Amino acid sequence: MAKVLETTGMVCPFPLVEAKEAIVDMAMGEELIINFDCTQATESIPRWAATEGHEITEFEQIDDAKWRIIVKKGN
């Protein structure tokens, strides 16, 4: 079951900070769905995921300034 993290309206770096905290308690292979509207997070979240060994399974722009990234927990 995927966990949804709603960070829309939060300024950067809070979507990334919230994602880092949320994924800690998840099991390997579980997915974290992150909804956000901070443009900096379009780069910082994928970079963090790659560095930590997580996989981006979906990266979608869902509005003019709103995105959804799904991170599958690795390691």
What's the Rg (C-alpha) of the chain? 11
Residues designated as active site:
12
CB burial readout 42-58, b (16+ within 10 A) else e: eebbeebbeeeebeeee
